[in-house]
Amino acid sequence: MYTQAMDIPDPAQPAPATPDLADPAQLARFEAVLSGGGRIEAQDWMPAAYRKTLLRQISQHAHSEIVGMLPEGNWISRAPSLKRKAILIAKVQDEGGHGLYLYGAAETLGARRADLIDALLAGRAKYSSIFNYPTLGWADVGVIGWLVDGAAIMNQIPLCRCSYGPYARAMIRICKEESFHQRQGYEALLVMMRGTGAQRRMVQDAVDRWWWKCLAMFGPPDADSEHGAQSMRWGIKRMGNDELRQKFIDATVPQAQILGVTLPDPQLKWNDERGHYDHGPIDWEEFRSTLAGDGPCNRERIATRAEAHENGRWVREAALAHARKQQQRAQGAGT
Amino acid sequence: MSTPALKDWPLWEVFVRSKQGLEHKHCGSLHAADAAQALRLARDVYTRRQEGVSIWVVPSAAITASNPDDKAELFDPAADKIYRHPSFYDLPDDLGNM
């Protein structure tokens, strides 16, 4: 995806700053590529604001994948069987891989990996609000696969057509892997629903706690969305928040019926005229305060990441020391 | 590759052969301290579902790429040489496949 190392600024030789005021001919070429449905590649000229918007979105997306490993990672040691444990490890490993693809895409825009990670650990970077809620029971793991990953897939499929090539290619790879995530979650819930009353109550309880948070994952209504319109114009986003949310609800209601759970919204009902399900109001205050850092697990998530990063320091340093030693030996042998 | 002051692990480009008989294809990049580690990490990051039977890793800094500003100069001259394509030649139908 990312043969763009030549674009990554070398701290020893700072790249000349791109002038913010675009050459009109370059801007016209850029606009022509976008309106023709073409793709922008890393070395192509792009407006500074396009680069900045992409960098913000891709890095937030990468951080979300990495932090997203934590709520489910908590259940690896407590999975109910060896089979479920193997599945969960594979899924969490996939999320780590997705984070890496996306950090790679962000780096093609001139960001340094170390800076991106620093921003996350220092609490300066944002990531999906959904990962700041706790996974209280095993059913939560299934619900995350079914609903959280289901919502993520709705968000991500249009991104496979994003105007920025490296991001679109990362998303194609991610979407291929993500479908296993949703199916394994739904299947785990089906098994519980065929079990005891207590198991069925666990599933319903998890659905009750996650449903509204999943609807909020699509972001505020288009009318209030800060960056939405510009991103649509640039082909960074292909569909609006409300449209995607509606698509998700319409797809999920029949799945809930097959599973035998109730979605916790008394206003949820089919609207014949619109050809869609109507739903009740979403609590945007809670979404904003979680995004701003005041959700139930924000501090814990970042602290866990920071500790893992710190615990890995000696490995990173040892690998570098080994590489240097090998290099010196090779040079010594050559002279 | 000379790496006098490695602060971070350098970047590598990863190429994967999906099966015998096909070419290695660029599939992404990753950071690693050296080539051996880059291969091991590439195996975990890019072939978790049997996507490959062989991996190449290349230091990203070793790649020389054409400049996008030279796109027209480099590639447009081929556009008017349609006689390089078999479809340029009109041949009688009863000749069959040629």
Q: What is the pLDDT tens value at each position of chain A, 335 positions in all?
A: 232 222 233 333 344 444 456 689 889 999 999 999 999 999 999 999 999 999 999 999 999 999 999 999 999 999 999 999 999 999 999 999 999 999 999 999 999 999 999 999 999 999 998 999 999 999 999 999 999 999 999 999 999 999 999 999 999 999 999 989 999 999 999 999 999 999 999 999 999 999 999 999 998 888 777 677 888 889 998 889 999 999 999 999 999 999 999 999 999 999 999 999 999 999 999 998 988 888 999 999 999 999 999 999 999 999 999 999 998 998 887 65
What is the domain extent for residue B29? Answer: 4-95
**What's the confidence (pLDDT) of residue A295?**
92
Furthest-apart CA atoms within chain B: distance in Å: 69
State whether B29 and A93 contact (CB < 8 Å).
no
Q: Which residues of A touch B48 (CB under 8 A)?
A: 90, 93-94, 97
Pairing, β B11-17 against β B54-59:
antiparallel
In what helix (H) or strand (E) does residue A271 lie, and over which residues does it extend? strand A269-271
The structure tokens listed for B36 are 């051996």
Mean pLDDT over all residues of chain B?
91
Q: Does B58 touch chain A if contact means CB atoms closer than 8 Å? A: no
Q: Looking at the 3D structure of chain B, how many domains does it have? A: 1
Q: Which residues of A touch B6 (CB under 8 A)?
A: 320, 323-324
CA atoms of A271 and A131, how far apart (whole Å): 32
Q: 10 Å Cβ neighbour count for A58?
A: 29
Instruction: Find, among A115, A128, A150, the residue nearest to A9 by Cα.
Output: A115
Answer yes or no: are the C-beta atoms of A317 and B33 closer than 8 Å.
Answer: no
Find where tokens 């519980």 sit.
A192
**What's the confidence (pLDDT) of residue A20?**
53
The structure tokens listed for B95 are 């000749």
CA atoms of B29 and A5, how far apart (whole Å): 9
The CA distances from residue A280 to A201, A215, A240, A266, in Å, are 23, 11, 19, 7
Higher pLDDT, B22 or A291: B22
In chain A, the residue whose alpha carbon lies closest to the alpha carbon of B71 is: A44
State whether B13 and A41 contact (CB < 8 Å).
no
The Cα angle at residue A331 between residues A328 and B1, in degrees rounded to 5: 85
State whether B8 and A43 contact (CB < 8 Å).
no
The CA distances from residue B67 to A6, B53, B58, B73, in Å, are 11, 32, 20, 10
Q: Which residues of A touch B56 (CB under 8 A)?
A: none
State whether B68 and A316 contact (CB < 8 Å).
no
pTM of the predicted model over 0.95: no
CA atoms of A170 and B7, how far apart (whole Å): 26
Q: Which residues of A touch B45 (CB under 8 A)?
A: 97, 100-101
Q: What is the ipTM of this complex?
A: 0.84
Answer yes or no: are the C-beta atoms of A97 and B28 closer than 8 Å.
Answer: no
Q: What SS3 state is found at A297?
A: coil
The structure tokens listed for A100 are 């890496």
**CATH number of the domain enclosing B40:** 3.10.20.520
